[in-house]
Amino acid sequence: MPKLTIAIDGPAGSGKSSVARLVAQMLGYLYLDSGAMYRALALKAIRTGISPDDETRLETLARDTHIELRVPSPEQEAAGAKNCVFLDAVDVTAAIRSAEVAQAASHVAAFAKVRKVLVAEQQRAGAGGGVVMEGRDIGTVVFPNAELKIFLDAAPETRAERRWKEHQEKGDRLTLAEVFDEVIERDKRDRERKVSPLVRAADAVLVDNTAMGIEETARLIVMLAQEREKDLVKAGRVG
């Protein structure tokens, strides 16, 4: 069977990471979390005192930074990691998951010059196909020719509650109302920015998983991927 490129885009808390990781596991594909790259860069900006609004310095920072996504070990996976993230060879998998870093990542990601650097990295990482990449602009910008595009969404209350539970599990003392506000604010910025905003690609399948679990959502996407594989073989394009 041919190996597809699967793009999964959607807002915060839509279940992208968990679903994409499971889809990749089920298909034997590589899972890549593009948001983790924006988060890692934002973390470095915070640590080095660069304002998340300084495009010129952030672009230089992006060029001078090595961000690598690795498959987690079974122990790391048991602790909830889906991709391990290395920032200049240092493991920052847990450090990039705070609400502060999420907000900074959303600011950093609004700059065209920063995106250019990270998109090139993402395209390199997924170049071989057989990959599930998730983010905000994967189906529109990073892999516009992806064979399967999914736009994952869920009701804002549901998305906030999922994020809140994640924070609770880590022992973060944020209230549900605080997490709701953070998620809504970040989505607004991600959807309204001028460069590569979060938008459903015209050819993306809309999956609303408000009332669906991670596994059910992943199974649906795997079914769509298998259909797509068959279509491609039939059309003589691959296989």
Residues found in the chain: 239
Q: Which is nearer to ligand DC, 52 or 229 (CB)?
A: 52
Q: Which is nearer to ligand DC, 23 or 138 (CB)?
A: 138
Q: Which is nearer to ligand DC, 14 or 225 (CB)?
A: 14
Rounded distance between C-alpha atoms, residue 34 and residue 73, angstroms = 19
Rounded distance between C-alpha atoms, residue 88 and residue 213, angstroms = 35
Which tokens go with 224? 């769509």
Q: Which is nearer to ligand DC, 21 or 39 (CB)?
A: 39
Asked if 151 touches ligand DC (CB under 6 A), the answer is no
Q: What are phi and psi of 197, to 5 degrees?
A: -65, 160
Q: In the bound complex, what is the minimum distance in angstroms from residue 42's beta carbon to ligand DC?
A: 8
Asked if 106 touches ligand DC (CB under 6 A), the answer is yes
2 alpha carbon, distance to own chain's centre: 24
Q: In the bound complex, what is the minimum distance in angstroms from residue 187's beta carbon to ligand DC?
A: 8
Rounded distance between C-alpha atoms, residue 94 and residue 237, angstroms = 41
Figure out which of the listed residues 6, 81, 102, 125 binds ligand DC, where binding follows CB under 6 A: 102
Figure out which of the listed residues 153, 182, 190, 229 binds ligand DC, where binding follows CB under 6 A: 190
Q: In the bound complex, what is the minimum distance in angstroms from residue 234's beta carbon to ligand DC?
A: 31
Asked if 12 touches ligand DC (CB under 6 A), the answer is yes
Asked if 4 touches ligand DC (CB under 6 A), the answer is no
Torsion of CA 9, 12, 14, 19, to 10 degrees: 70
Q: Which is nearer to ligand DC, 191 or 230 (CB)?
A: 191
Q: In the bound complex, what is the minimum distance in angstroms from residue 138's beta carbon to ligand DC?
A: 6
Q: Which is nearer to ligand DC, 34 or 217 (CB)?
A: 34
Amino acid at residue number 1: M
How many CA atoms lie within 13 Å of 118's alpha carbon, on the beta-carbon side? Answer: 32
Rounded distance between C-alpha atoms, residue 219 and residue 7, angstroms = 15
Asked if 82 touches ligand DC (CB under 6 A), the answer is no
Asked if 35 touches ligand DC (CB under 6 A), the answer is yes
Count other Cβ atoms within 10 Å, centred on residue 191.
12
- Positions 127 through 146 that interact with ligand DC (CB under 6 A): 135-138
DSSP, collapsed to helix, strand or coil, labels residue 134 as strand
Cα distances (Å, whole numbers) of residue 170 to 16, 80, 98, 173, 175: 19, 10, 10, 9, 13
Asked if 154 touches ligand DC (CB under 6 A), the answer is no
Note the residues at the interface with ligand DC (CB under 6 A). Answer: 12, 34-36, 38-39, 102, 105-106, 109, 135-138, 186, 190
